[in-house]
Structure 1
Amino acid sequence: MYSHNLPFLKLFMLLSLSGIAMHISNPDLLVPAYLQTIPLNGHFLFQNLTEFSKDFGNRFSYEPSAVLYPALVSDISGTIKHVFELGAQSGLTVAARGHGHSLQGQAQVTGGIVIRMESLQGTQTMVHTGDLPYVDVSGGDLWINVLKETLKHGLAPRSWTDYLHLTVGGTLSNAGVSGQAFWHGPQISNVYELEVVTGKGDIMKCSAKENSDLFYAALGGLGQFGIITRARIALEPAPKMVKWIRVLYSDFMTFTEDQEMLISMEKTFDYIEGFVIINRTGLLNNWRSSFKPQDPVQASHFNSDGRTLFCLEMTKNYNPDEVETMEQEVVQLLSKLRYVSSTLFQSEVTYMEFLDRVHVSEIKLRSQGLWEVPHPWLNLLIPRSKIHEFAKEVFGKILTDTTNGPILLYPVNRSKWDNRTSVVIPKEEVFYLVAFLFSEPTPSPTSEKNENLEIALQKNKKVVKFCNNANIGMKQYLPHHTTQKEWRAHFGDKWETFCRRKQAYDPLAMLAPGQGIFHKSPLPLL
């Protein structure tokens, strides 16, 4: 069968010229043998690749033929260039893998090459102070390490994700959203410059002024146009401390109106997120471990009684010499809110402790064997005008039982997003991020399937189906679609631009095949 396969024949001819193919009796060894001819400063791994065939979602598994551990960006460029030169006849594809936090196999590849981006960590980190401070970092650096380095200079990036143990290139290929996005926009709105290795193997520096088309294509581009190998990130003075506040609402309309008021104010909190809490009991007891209630007696009398509640989470940044001013500002802001009066919980932590808060939960879950489990997450962007219709159906009918994992719900301002990037968002000025961050522990060894996982996936499908049927105007964040028709609908009027950029920067559709948007199609068997 291989003797009639054009990719095999071309590889065989190339290897014959180098004197390698004549010594290979097993055609399955051709790809590794071919890759070994590429001059590298790093190295390839061809065995024990199981960890690269899974991700945080823990639902999909596709095993590569090789994993590249690059020592320099030229290793990535050289590898892609060699694969590109094989032409359309070769079925080889390439996927950049950061910290493996994709949900549905987006950073995996069947029989192709995975690039372990973390191998480049720390190779380019340099903090620049001045009127417009910034940091140059490798695309394989983790945000937690970027934070540690910039804090040495009293600086920090302006926009974050809730979880910092992700690579810079990974979040910039999506958007990077957290509770600062209402003010600073997503992470992709805080980038001055990128270095990108395209699907042709070219190393290109790009910014809003230089190679701007590639710059905006790569930001939020799902890895389709190139691999982000370096980024120049905007910085701001970093506070030392954070006032961390949580309050509860029992009425959804009041909850959303207060959120929208806060994100519209010139002087407001520095971070604003919301949570939906379904049918939970003993909730406040869980909070007491890290938050002190304003009135312990009143708080002890509050009981959720299984009701759906809504939590508003806010922070105010400050330095030790600003405590009095900060407290006055917080009191003034809280006086404008209509939360349940006995549910004001607050804490003071360092800036680092707040930003890295999810990692504390990760350590606890790992110790209980509950981290590496299926995560059937669903992230949606819902227009403000439809959020109440959405909530009535989803929280009133589809999701009525206790969930395994948080449900985030908070508004952001469209004006803080750059429409020239590849990300697609609702057209209204204010829209909500709604994230169903579920986890489903694996079934017992005697069970054939994880029934809870199937139930969660079915609920996700019901939510998406409702949005489509009711014309909610929803867009998926961290999208996953199975047909190009669905991808066309997802990108809408950006689809033609997306396709044009794909043809310009990755004409063979070699990159990020796990996204399922485009497919590299080798010639059929003779």
Structure 2
Amino acid sequence: MIKVVDLASKLCTDANCIKTASSDFGKLVQETPSAVFYPSTNSDIARLVKSSYDSSSPFKIAARGNGHCVGGQAMAKDGVVVEMSSLNGNGRIRVSWSDSLGFYADVGGEQLWIDVLRTTMEQGLAPVSWTDYLYLTVGGKGDIMTCSKSLHSELFYGDQEHLISINNGPNYVEGSLIMKKNLANNWRSSFFSTLGESKVNSLASKHGIVYSLEVVKYYDEFNIQTVNEKDVSFEDFLNRVRIEELKLQSKGLWDVPHPWLNLFVPKSRILDFNQHVFIDIVQKQNKSSGPFLVYPMNRKKCI
């Protein structure tokens, strides 16, 4: 399949390699590759792609980060899965300064977001926007592009959570539905006290469904007395899903199928969506079997 000798030497075809690359976090899809590729450099990956392109029998190639896809996106049936973690090494996260860009981080696509956070925090810095789960790889499309407020600004701002932007408003807002059925399994919060959880459970038992909003607002020594807060460190807040993951791992509830659905709903249809999905399906029929995320969208700002 691969005729370049030094590339072929980086292929693994033993049972353990193949098994790992045949499944993902979703546990819903299984596709068996012919081999797993362990690159040493970015150019190894480029040459692998070229090898397929030049071959009389091109083969599928998929990049695998930390295995957190939910629908087989990082699998390559009868092809080659690229194990991106093989690139990991010293100097793959570099924090630098540029007169035109300010502070920026040059990060390898195989790096975990948690490592980006810790490396930048050592410099007293942090990226503006974050994914909810930090044990994902950074990833990328393979294109090299520099962006800033003035250069490719659409991409620059597109990676920041500005779909809802309010001056002097909350820094983070997340909503969730809390259902009466199986309360212990379908609702968890990293920052509620036992008393708070009891109150929420009581409301859900009474009404069948509770609409919940978690709001985060940064504060400092000037307004610390004006808020009723739950204090956590910056890292612990960003890494809150990992805390819940470890709890579920200890109970054997993490390494299970994870059905997942992302939906984008315009403001004009949210009441219809609430009635026909949240109430008629989720509440009345109890047919949800995994998380689904609903994003309110402004069509004029959709990238």
Q: State whether TM-score is above 0.5.
A: yes
User: Which of 221, 224, 230 is matched with 1:323 structurally?
Assistant: 221
User: Which of 178, 183, 191 is matched with 1:277 structurally?
Assistant: 178
User: Which of 107, 112, 129 is matched with 1:137 structurally?
Assistant: 107
User: Which of 205, 212, 216 is matched with 2:144 structurally?
Assistant: 205
Structure 2 match to 1:425: none
1:360 aligns with 2:243: yes
Report matched runs for 1:244-283 at 5 Å: 263-280=164-181
User: Equivalent residue of 2:211, what SS?
Assistant: strand
User: Equivalent residue of 1:363, what SS?
Assistant: helix
Structure 2 match to 1:310: 211
Structure 2 match to 1:391: 274
In structure 2, C-alpha distance between the alignment counterparts of 1:313 and 1:288, rounded to whole Å: 9
In structure 2, C-alpha distance between the alignment counterparts of 1:301 and 1:163, rounded to whole Å: 25
In structure 2, C-alpha distance between the alignment counterparts of 1:81 and 1:134, rounded to whole Å: 31
In structure 2, C-alpha distance between the alignment counterparts of 1:351 and 1:136, rounded to whole Å: 22
Report matched runs for 1:23-422 at 5 Å: 31=1, 34-35=2-3, 37-40=4-7, 43-48=10-15, 49-86=18-55, 89-122=56-89, 123-129=91-97, 132-169=102-139, 172=140, 196=142, 205-207=144-146, 263-280=164-181, 290-292=191-193, 299=199, 303-304=203-204, 305-318=206-219, 322-326=220-224, 328=226, 346-400=229-283, 401=286, 405-406=290-291, 408-409=293-294, 411=296, 419=303
Q: How many residue pairs are counted as aligned between the two chains? A: 285
User: Equivalent residue of 2:273, what SS?
Assistant: helix
Higher relative contact order (CA closer than 8 Å, sequence separation 6+): 1
Q: Which runs of 4+ in 1 moved over 6 A?
A: 286-289
Compared with structure 1, are the counterparts of its residues 117 and 406 closer, same or farther at alpha carbon in structure 2 (3 Å cutoff)?
A: same
CA drift of 1:395 comes to 1.4
CA drift of 1:415 comes to 6.3
> TM-score, normalised on structure 1?
0.48
In structure 1, C-alpha distance between the alignment counterparts of 2:105 and 2:81, rounded to whole Å: 27
In structure 1, C-alpha distance between the alignment counterparts of 2:291 and 2:221, rounded to whole Å: 31
* Contact kept? 1:42, 1:71, Cα under 8 Å: no
Query: What do residues 87-130 of structure 1 show as CA deviations (whole Å, max 9, x unaligned)?
Result: xx414111111111111111101111110112223452100246
In structure 1, C-alpha distance between the alignment counterparts of 2:169 and 2:190, rounded to whole Å: 27
In structure 1, C-alpha distance between the alignment counterparts of 2:125 and 2:222, rounded to whole Å: 23
User: Equivalent residue of 1:67, what SS?
Assistant: strand
Compared with structure 1, are the counterparts of its residues 387 and 288 closer, same or farther at alpha carbon in structure 2 (3 Å cutoff)?
A: closer
* Contact kept? 1:64, 1:108, Cα under 8 Å: yes
In structure 2, C-alpha distance between the alignment counterparts of 1:106 and 1:287, rounded to whole Å: 28
Higher helix share: 1
CA drift of 1:362 comes to 1.2
Compared with structure 1, are the counterparts of its residues 410 and 63 closer, same or farther at alpha carbon in structure 2 (3 Å cutoff)?
A: closer
* Contact kept? 2:65, 2:136, Cα under 8 Å: yes
* Contact kept? 2:61, 2:80, Cα under 8 Å: yes
* Contact kept? 1:93, 1:113, Cα under 8 Å: yes
Aligned-partner residue type, residue 272 of structure 2: E
In structure 2, C-alpha distance between the alignment counterparts of 1:267 and 1:316, rounded to whole Å: 9
Which structure has the greater CA radius of gyration? Answer: 1
* Contact kept? 1:121, 1:141, Cα under 8 Å: yes
Report matched runs for 1:394-473 at 5 Å: 394-400=277-283, 401=286, 405-406=290-291, 408-409=293-294, 411=296, 419=303
In structure 2, C-alpha distance between the alignment counterparts of 1:306 and 1:46, rounded to whole Å: 55
Compared with structure 1, are the counterparts of its residues 316 and 280 closer, same or farther at alpha carbon in structure 2 (3 Å cutoff)?
A: farther
Unaligned runs of 5+ in 1: 1-30, 174-195, 197-203, 220-233, 236-259, 332-345, 420-526
Compared with structure 1, are the counterparts of its residues 166 and 287 closer, same or farther at alpha carbon in structure 2 (3 Å cutoff)?
A: closer
Structure 2 match to 1:481: none
User: Equivalent residue of 1:348, what SS?
Assistant: coil
Aligned-partner residue type, residue 275 of structure 1: S
* Contact kept? 2:87, 2:110, Cα under 8 Å: yes
For the aligned residues, what is the CA RMSD? 3.5
Aligned-partner residue type, residue 90 of structure 1: S
In structure 1, C-alpha distance between the alignment counterparts of 2:183 and 2:54, rounded to whole Å: 61
* Contact kept? 1:83, 1:92, Cα under 8 Å: yes
CA drift of 1:347 comes to 1.4
CA drift of 1:367 comes to 2.0
> TM-score, normalised on structure 2?
0.80
* Contact kept? 2:33, 2:78, Cα under 8 Å: yes
* Contact kept? 2:133, 2:239, Cα under 8 Å: yes
CA drift of 1:280 comes to 4.6
Aligned-partner residue type, residue 145 of structure 2: C
Compared with structure 1, are the counterparts of its residues 364 and 106 closer, same or farther at alpha carbon in structure 2 (3 Å cutoff)?
A: same
- Percent identity, aligned pairs only? 37
* Contact kept? 1:280, 1:402, Cα under 8 Å: no
CA drift of 1:154 comes to 1.0
In structure 1, C-alpha distance between the alignment counterparts of 2:237 and 2:190, rounded to whole Å: 15
CA drift of 1:161 comes to 1.2
In structure 2, C-alpha distance between the alignment counterparts of 1:289 and 1:108, rounded to whole Å: 32
Aligned-partner residue type, residue 291 of structure 1: F
* Contact kept? 1:92, 1:113, Cα under 8 Å: yes
User: Equivalent residue of 1:107, what SS?
Assistant: coil
